Structure 1
């Protein structure tokens, strides 16, 4: 077998483990989500089982990653980004369309986000990480701790997501943002 191909195949297991850990999932969590056994996933991550499409496709779907990014395949020379928007509903009642602009795990994640109408009384959330966003269109209401700010196109926000926060459109009209997020756990790997 070609040495470069052998290196790629040998690196898939550890890469899959890193992706799972970066997302804060246990083998049990992942197994329950995709319908594979913990034993199969453990052998795949340790390199004791060769990756096959029937194992990799459910993982790519669960992680919302392109298969080539999931396995760390070398670039093919195709410079196009294949963006796949998805609808996101938070437990606080926000509805938005999220278009991932990056798909590599363990790095800063970049999204274009269209923020739909939010709840009249938003609930602040906090989680490890850091966020930055730039308002492209509409007006965004940002609650950060006890402060409230209204941001117009061209304005940006930069904050530690460990501080209680919420953001959404300032009116019934959707708002668009360019959103960068880095999980604190991704800095440790």
Structure 2
């Protein structure tokens, strides 16, 4: 497992220890089987972004705290230069960049996502609602039993509790903006 995953795992363990919870209690509160939680806390498995949100919510910290160990500080404006978003490495099939990670108490999580054309991700679900806006390439979004094909300029808004995934089409990567309502 890479160094970033181990660092995140250490922060998750630290948060649990600060609360005084046993591993079983933390797993229960986050809604995970104990063995799965322990794999994440020990850095033995990649942590899905949806689980990272659950962990941050459970420990009442910002996602940026979990990812970087540094709390966001900005209250009024957060300006991110092109290519300078916080990389969130959770899945091989997705390259996430958080575009507001320095803003305190975000109500939405805007992410620039690049889809790898070679792999097919697992279905995920998470609390909130999600908005996707296709920027480059062609992509398929599977939401439950429905499939939607997005070309540049197309958008989709949906209940993110429904299992979903995004796929790059035409054997080339695709890029989209996703905004998740927290």
Give ranges in structure 1 of 5+ residues lacking alignment: 1-28, 41-58, 184-189
**Partner residue, 2:111:** 111
Equivalent residue, structure 2, for 1:47:
none
Residue number among 24, 32, 45 corresponding to 2:13 in the alignment: 32
Residue 123 of structure 1 deviates from its aligned partner by 3.4
Counterpart position of 1:100:
98
CA displacement at 1:135 relative to structure 2 = 0.4
Within a 5 Å distance, the mapping from 1:26-105 to structure 2 comes to 30=11, 32-33=13-14, 37-38=17-18, 62-64=66-68, 67=71, 69-70=72-73, 80-81=79-80, 83-86=84-87, 88-90=89-91, 94-103=92-101, 104=103, 105=105
The Cα offsets for residues 121-158 of structure 1, whole Å up to 9 and x where unpaired, read as x5322222110010000001111111111110010010
Count of residue pairs the alignment pairs up: 127
Secondary structure in structure 1 of the residue aligned to 2:125: coil
Using the size of structure 2 for normalisation, the TM-score is: 0.56
Aligned residues: CA RMSD: 3.4
Q: Does 1:165 align with 2:145?
A: no
**Alignment partner, residue 123 of structure 1:** 122
Structure 2, unaligned runs of 5 or more: 1-9, 21-62
Name the SS for the 1:126 alignment partner.
coil
Equivalent-residue separation in structure 1 for 2:158 and 2:114 (angstroms): 20
Q: Highest Rg: 1 or 2?
A: 1
What's the TM-score, normalizing by structure 1? 0.54
